[in-house]
Amino acid sequence: MASLSQLIAKPATFSVSTPRTSSGQYRPRRATVQCASSRGGERSEPDAPKHQDRRDPRRARRQCHRHPDVRASRRRRPRRDARRLLLRRRGPSAERQRATCCPPPSSAPAVDFTPPDAASLPLRTRPAAHSVTADYVAKFNAGIAAMKALPPDDPRSFSAQASVHCAYCDGSYSPEGFPGVELQVHNSWLFFPFHRCYLYFFERILGSLVGDPSFAMPFWNWDAPDGMRLPAMYADQSSQLYDPRRDGRHGTPKLIDLDYSGTEPRFTDKQQVDHNLRVMYRQMVSLSPTPSLFFGSAYRAGDDPNQGPGPLENVPHGPVHVWCGDPKQPAREDMGNFYSAGNDPLFYAHHANIDRMWSVWKGIDARRHTDLTDPDWLDASFLFYDETPQLVRIRVRDVLDTGSLRYQYQDVPLPWTAARPTVTRRADSLLAPAAQAAAAAARKAGDFPITLDEATSVTVKRPVAGKRSKAEKASEEEVLVIDGIEVDRDVAAKFDVFVNAEDHGAVGSGGRELAGSFVNVPHRHGHGRGRGRGHGKNGGGIKTKLRLALNEQLEDLKAEDDESVVVTLVPRQGKGKVKIGGVKIELMH
C-alpha cells in the first residue's frame, strides 16, 4: 500500500570540524535527515517540533545547512510517537575524517524545476569523447579549470560538485524516524534518474563558466570499438581533465574491459572488442526485457538501501569504475571508489554514456522498453544547485525525456545490438556423463546461506515445467534471483553467474552460459559504518540481491523443457568476502 509521502536528504558541507544537518519531510508528517559530520554521536534534538517552516532562513541557520536533497516516496508504516525520533550518526576514525563530503550550504529556499525552452536554452548535442575537435577540448578544459578555480564553498566549484556524488552515494544521510538506515542512490531504481539530474546541472554550470549555454559535455563511447580506449583528452597530463589517480596500466592504447574483474584479460584486441560487444548485448538486451529489470528494484523511504541494481548498473558501470581507479591508492581512488569518483573528470564522461544507454534502451523496443509508471518513482525528487547558483528541486518525472532538458546525444553506431552471445557447449551435452555428474554434485537450494569462497553450483527448480509459448514468455519473464547478497561496503567484489555450464572455465568470451554478474564498487567514506542496518559483524556491510532475466538464455541453451537448471556462482573479486542467502527462479510480469 503506497502513499504519496516522501523522504528528503540534504547534503551540507565539506568541513569535517563543523556538523552539518539537513531537514526533510514525509507527507503528511515531517521528518528530518542529516548529513553526517565528524563528531561522534551527533544527533537531532529529540524534542524539536514535528513541523518546521523549511523556508525560514533563520531556522535553517539554527538547525541545518541547506543543500541538494533526494526525496523518495515511502510505504505507510505503523504510526510512531509524534515527537521527532533520534537521528544517530557514528563518528568516523581520524583516518576517515578526510572523506567527509557534505557539500556547501544554502540559506535560500529551493525552487521547483522549470524545463528550459528553446528560446532560453539551445538544443545541445553531447559528442562522443573520441571524436571531438581541438577547439572543443580547449573549451572543455577551460570550463573544468574555471570550476577548479572557484572556492570550495561555492556550490559550482569542482570540489563541491564532486562532493555531491560522495554525499549521496556513500551514506551521508539517514532519515529521522528510520535510525541506522542510510540513504543510497545506487543499487535501485534511483540510479538512472539521479545521475541524469546530476549531469544536467554539472553541464549547465560548465556552459555558464565558459560563456556558452550551448556547450555539451562529452560521453565516453566505450560500447563501440572506436571509443573503447581512454579518450585522448583525459590522458594529457597538462590538462585539467587529467587525474593522476588512475590505473597506469589502462591508458592508451589499452582497450577497456567492460567486464573487468580486477585481473588483466589475455585477449587480443579483436577478442577484447568482441567480448565487450557481447557484454553489452547481454546487459542491454537479454537482461533488460522489462522496465522493472532495467531500472532496478523499487526503493521507497524507510526501506533498507541497496534493494537491487539493474543490469547496466552492475555491468559495465561497476567494472568501468574499478578499471579506471588506481590500484596503488588505499581504496582505489579516484574512480574505483564512490566517495572519490567525482574527483576525476572522466567520471562525468563515463556517466554520460550510462545516461545515453537509458535513451538507447528505450529506442530498442519502444513498445516494451518504457519508463516506470510507479508514482513513488516519478515523484522522487532531488535538489541541486544550478549555474546561478540557485537551489532547484527536480523530480524524476522532469527528466524522462532528454529533449525536455534540451540535450541529445551524437548519433553513433550500436554494433553490440548484433552481438548475441553464443553457446559454448553442444546443445545436447547435458546428456553427457560429465554433465550428469556435475549436476549431481551441485548443492540444493536448501544448502544456503553460504560464503562464496570457491565456485559453487546449485540445482534450482524452475517455476514452470515445460516449454512456454511465445505469448507466455512475452507476458512473464523467468528471473534468476540471487538473494541475500552480503558484502562489506569497502570491498571490491564481483562474482559471475553461469547457467548449465559444464565447465565455467571453458565458457568462451561472452559465452551464452554466462547469465550475468554482481559487482560491488567500494563505498568508503568518512561517516563511520553501520548505516545500512548493520549487516555483518562490523555493521559496515550492504545486503542486496541480483536479478537476471532468463527467457532468452534458456531458449539459446535449449533448456526450456527442463524442470531445473544448474546455476554456478564463481567469485572473481573479494573471494571469501561475499555471502549468498539463496538462489531461486521466479516469474515476473
DSSP per-residue codes, 208-229: HHTT-TT----B--TTSGGGSB
Residue 232 grid coordinates: 585522448
Determine contact, residues 53/10, Cβ cutoff 8 Å.
no
Residue 323 grid coordinates: 578499471
d(CA 416, CA 89): 46
In this structure, what DSSP letter does residue 468 have? P
State the CB neighbour count (10 A cutoff) for residue 491: 17
What's the confidence (pLDDT) of residue 495?
98
User: How is the chain split into domains, by residue range?
Assistant: 8-418, 429-588
Residue 305 grid coordinates: 538501501
Q: What are phi and psi of 568, to 5 degrees?
A: -120, 125
What's the confidence (pLDDT) of residue 439?
58
Any residues with CB less than 8 A from the CB of 419 and at least 6 apart, and which?
274, 277, 278, 280, 281, 510
Start-to-end CA distance of the chain, whole Å, equals: 19
- Do 8-418 and 429-588 fold alike per CATH? no
**Between the CA of residue 179 and those of 22, 88, 183, what are the distances in Å?**
15, 6, 11
Q: With b meaning 16 or more CB within 10 Å and e meaning fewer, what string describes 529-554?
A: bbbbbebbeebbbbbbbbbbbbbbbb
d(CA 506, CA 423): 11
**Between the CA of residue 157 and those of 22, 59, 175, 343, 412, what are the distances in Å?**
21, 26, 27, 11, 32
Which one, of 552, 585, 553, 561, lies nearest residue 462 by Cα?
A: 585
In this structure, what DSSP letter does residue 315 have? I
Q: Name the one residue in this structure whose C-alpha cell is 521528518.
A: 31
Any residues with CB less than 8 A from the CB of 67 and at least 6 apart, and which?
10, 11, 12, 13, 22, 35, 102, 103, 104, 105, 106, 155, 383, 385, 391
Which one, of 387, 389, 380, lies nearest residue 106 by Cα?
A: 389
Q: Is 275 annotated as a binding residue?
A: no
Active site residues per annotation: 165, 186, 195, 317, 321, 338, 351
What's the confidence (pLDDT) of residue 83?
23
Level-2 CATH architecture, domain 8-418:
Orthogonal Bundle (1.10)
Q: Is 130 annotated as a binding residue?
A: no
Q: Is 504 annotated as a binding residue?
A: no
The pTM of the full predicted model, rounded to 2 decimals, is 0.85
Q: Is 317 annotated as a binding residue?
A: yes
Q: What is the pLDDT along the chain (589 residues), one digit of tens a residue?
A: 332 223 223 332 222 222 222 222 223 223 334 455 433 333 222 222 222 232 232 222 222 333 334 444 444 333 333 222 122 233 333 333 344 677 778 888 999 999 999 998 999 999 999 999 999 999 999 999 999 999 999 999 999 999 999 988 877 766 546 667 778 999 999 999 999 999 999 999 999 999 999 999 999 999 999 999 999 999 999 999 999 999 999 999 999 999 999 999 999 999 999 999 999 999 999 999 999 999 999 999 888 899 999 999 999 999 999 999 999 999 999 999 999 999 999 999 999 999 999 999 999 999 999 999 999 999 998 889 999 999 999 999 999 999 999 999 999 999 999 999 999 865 444 445 555 555 556 776 668 999 999 999 999 999 987 889 989 999 999 999 999 999 999 999 999 999 999 889 889 778 999 999 999 999 865 444 344 443 433 357 899 999 999 999 999 999 999 999 999 999 999 999 999 999 999 999 8
Fold of 429-588: Jelly Rolls (2.60.120)
d(CA 309, CA 518): 9
Any residues with CB less than 8 A from the CB of 516 and at least 6 apart, and which?
282, 283, 287, 311, 314, 315, 496, 497, 546, 548
d(CA 136, CA 132): 6
